[in-house]
Amino acid sequence: MRFCPKGYSDEVEAKIQQYKRDGVRLPQRHLLRTAEQLAGIRESAKINTALLNYLSEHIEEGMTTADIDQMVYCFTTDHDAIPAPFGYEGFPKSVCTSINDVVCHGIPSTKEVLRNGDILNVDVSTIYKGYFSDASRMFMIGKVLPEWQRLVQVAKECRDIGVEMARPWIRLGDIGAAIQEHAEKNGYSVVRDLCGHGVGVKFHEEPDVEHFGKRGTGMMIVPGMTFTIEPMINMGSYEVFIDEADGWTVCTEDGLPSAQWESMVLITEDGHEVLTE
C-alpha cells in the first residue's frame, strides 16, 4: 500500500481525473486523507480498539449498562482521549449500549442490567488529538439461545464480507449488495434506515455506506477514504423505530433481536487496511 505526502499517488490522481471525465460520482477531495491525517487517525484507532479489548475482559452478567459507560469514560480519558458520543447532538453518555431488540443508539442506564441470555452491542468512538475512530462489537451474556447466537455470528460475517469487499475503484453499492445477499441467504434482513459513514476528521462525514443495494451503483471508492462498515442485521423485519421517550434508541418494529458489528477501514491503493475492529 503506497501513499505520497498528499495521501495518494500520481497514478491514483490520473484515475480520478479519468473517472471524473467519464462522469462517475467520486468523493470530494477533502475526504482523501493526507499522510498527517492518517497518522492521527491510526493513533485514535489504537485507543478505540484497546478500549473494546478492555471491555471484552470486563463485561459480565449483573452489571448495568451505566457501569459500561463509566468504564468507557475512564479508559478513554485515562488515555488522554475523549469519548466522541458524549454530547454529540445532545447524546447524554459516552457509549451506545444496545440490548436484544435495540438496534443501535441505546443509552446506558443504571436501571438496565445485563441478564443471562442477552445479546449486547457496545459501540465506542474515540477522539484523540482531533482525530476520530469508531467500532462496535457484540457480547453474548451467559447462555444465549442458539438461534440468537447464529444471528450474532451471521452479523459478524456480514461485517467481514463488507470489509473484504472494500477496495479501490469499485462502487459503494457493491459492498451493500454483498452484505445484503449474505444476510438474506441466511434468513435475516438488513436495516435500511441506518448506515455506515465516513469518519476520521469528523465523527460523521460523507459518504453514507449502506449495507444493502445493487452492484455497480453509488459513489466510487478511492484510495485515501476512511469509513465504517457496520451492518445491522435483524432476525425479523428490517423495519425499525426510534423510541420517542429519549429520541435516540432505535428498536426493531417487530420486537425480534438485532445484531451489529462495526469496523473502520482505510482504502489503500491495492485494497484496504482495517483500522478498528
Residue 100 has pLDDT above 80, yes or no: yes
What is the pLDDT confidence band of residue 203, given thresholds at 50, 70 and 90? Answer: very high
Residue 10 has pLDDT above 90, yes or no: no
Question: CATH number, domain at 242?
Answer: 3.90.230.10
Predicted pLDDT at 9: 80
- Does the residue 22 lie in any domain? no
Range of the domain at 246: 31-276
For residue 25, count other CB atoms closer than 10 A to its CB.
13
- Does the residue 23 lie in any domain? no
pLDDT (average), residues 238-256:
97
Predicted pLDDT at 1: 40
Predicted pLDDT at 6: 54
Of 9-18, 48-57, 92-101, 173-182, which range is least confident?
9-18
Residue carrying the nine cell digits 491503493: 269
Predicted pLDDT at 262: 98
The CA distance from 193 to 191, in Å, is 6
Q: For the whole prediction, is pTM greater than 0.85?
A: yes
- Does the residue 25 lie in any domain? no
- Does the residue 143 lie in any domain? yes
- Does the residue 65 lie in any domain? yes
pLDDT digits (tens, 9 = 90+) for 146-174: 999 999 999 999 999 999 999 999 999 99
- Does the residue 83 lie in any domain? yes
Task: Give me the amino acid identity at 91.
Answer: F
The CA distance from 42 to 25, in Å, is 27
The tally of domains found in the chain comes to 1
The CA distance from 191 to 213, in Å, is 12
Percent of the chain with pLDDT over 70: 97
The grid cell for 177 is 449488495
- Does the residue 12 lie in any domain? no
pLDDT (average), residues 21-35:
95
- Does the residue 85 lie in any domain? yes
